[in-house]
Amino acid sequence: MTEYVVLFERGERSWGASVPDLPGCYAVAKTRDEVERRIREAIEMHIELLAQDGEAIPAPVTEAARIAV
């Protein structure tokens, strides 16, 4: 199983999620739980489409950390 870093952003009325290692892979939803489900589906679909097109599937290289200031 491959794990990709997902960035979650809370907007005024919705949540967004993106995957830095999979350019163009993102999702938007009204709740955090819903956007997490949608980004998981988006990742699966993104990888499936890359494979169907014979393109390389990017390895996860992005790391994330929280820094207290």
Q: What is the pLDDT of residues 11-38, one digit of tens each?
A: 999 999 999 999 999 999 999 999 999 9
For the record, the structure tokens of 2 come out as 């491959």
* pTM of the entire predicted model: 0.92
Distance between first and last Cα of the chain = 34
pLDDT band for position 1 (cuts 50, 70, 90): confident
Closest by Cα among 1, 63, 55 to 24: 55
